[in-house]
Amino acid sequence: MSKLDNRLRSLKIKRGEKMRKPIIAGNWKMHNTLFESGEMLKELLPLVNKSSVEVIICPNYTSLTEIFKLLKGSNIKLGAQNMHYEEKGAYTGEVSPVFLKEIGVDYIILGHSERRKIFGEIDVIINKKIKAALKHNLSPILCVGETLEEREKDITYEIIKKQIEYCLEGLKDTNLDKLVVAYEPVWAIGTGKTATKEDANDVISFIRRLLSEYINKKMADKTRILYGGSVKPNNIKELMEMGEIDGALVGGASLKANDFAKIINY
């Protein structure tokens, strides 16, 4: 960063402005039927139409097409929660990046800890998925994070390093403008326990340093890195005040229009 960039950066931080456009993304997981999704959006849209952050919702596959229609003309973008890395083929039960792109999906959550833990997804597979997403012009939201056991063993940073290294393997010369990373400590997901804002900021700053090492500094400075894990209306503001935290990936609280709107309009 040049001296001028540095001065601009400190001025912006003083004014509480963000260097990168914040993202608030809702991961609806396996919740909300098509009908419930429609009802929720009817409530949500008027509450967030003046928002200055980038808002993304990630519903389940069966709601994507209808939700895309409902979001037309709004400031909310559409994301999916998983995909296969191949374009087509004999992969029963899987969904291709081509199919997602065709119906208007822009973002794709990859490597969520629930996929890692419950469905055995591993870093090499996530790496293939990231490459496929970028190839098809989808923005991957790569999730990384340590379990409680790993945190107690004091190996959080090693785990994050390994996840980032393996998931981004071979991407050095790729255009990574579209990449978003989410730091989601597994012990904070759905538990009501949030990482302290300082801890979250430190790990995110570490992730940015890794991106700078593995890819390059310019890309690391541009990449939005979100925090996820029990983000609620009452803790979003303090998290967003931290210089390194560029937004939030929200689970439970993104299912209620009022709560999600409060988080978006923090």
Question: Scanning the structure block, which residue is given the tokens 């940015």?
Answer: 208
- Active-site residue among 112, 114, 146, 150? 112
User: What's the rounded Cα separation, in Å, for the pair 121 and 123?
Assistant: 7
Tell which positions 238-257 bind ligand 13P, by CB under 6 A: 249-253
* From 1-9, 87-95, 115-123, 224-232, span contacting ligand 13P (CB under 6 A): 224-232
- Active-site residue among 114, 146, 150, 184? 184
Closer Cβ to ligand 13P, 219 or 228, answer by number: 228
Smallest separation, CB 19 to ligand 13P (Å): 23
Task: Establish whether 184 is a catalytic residue.
Answer: yes
**Does residue 210 sit in helix, strand or coil?**
helix
Nearest to 165 by CA among 207, 137, 200: 207
- Determine, following the binding rule CB under 6 A, whether residue 27 of this chain makes contact with ligand 13P: yes
Burial of 127 (0-12, 13-18, 19+ CB in 10 A): buried
Task: Establish whether 136 is a catalytic residue.
Answer: no
- Determine, following the binding rule CB under 6 A, whether residue 140 of this chain makes contact with ligand 13P: no
DSSP state of 81: S
Smallest separation, CB 164 to ligand 13P (Å): 17
Closer Cβ to ligand 13P, 81 or 127, answer by number: 81
Joined tokens for residue 113: 């800890």
Buried b (16+ CB within 10 A) or exposed e, 39-49: ebbeebbeebe
Q: Are 184 and 143 in contact (CB under 8 A)?
A: yes
Closer Cβ to ligand 13P, 30 or 90, answer by number: 30
Joined tokens for residue 110: 């990859």
Joined tokens for residue 116: 């890692």
Smallest separation, CB 117 to ligand 13P (Å): 11
Smallest separation, CB 252 to ligand 13P (Å): 3
Tell which positions 150-179 bind ligand 13P, by CB under 6 A: none
Contacts to ligand 13P by CB under 6 A? 27, 112, 184, 189-190, 228-231, 249-253
Active site residues: 112, 184
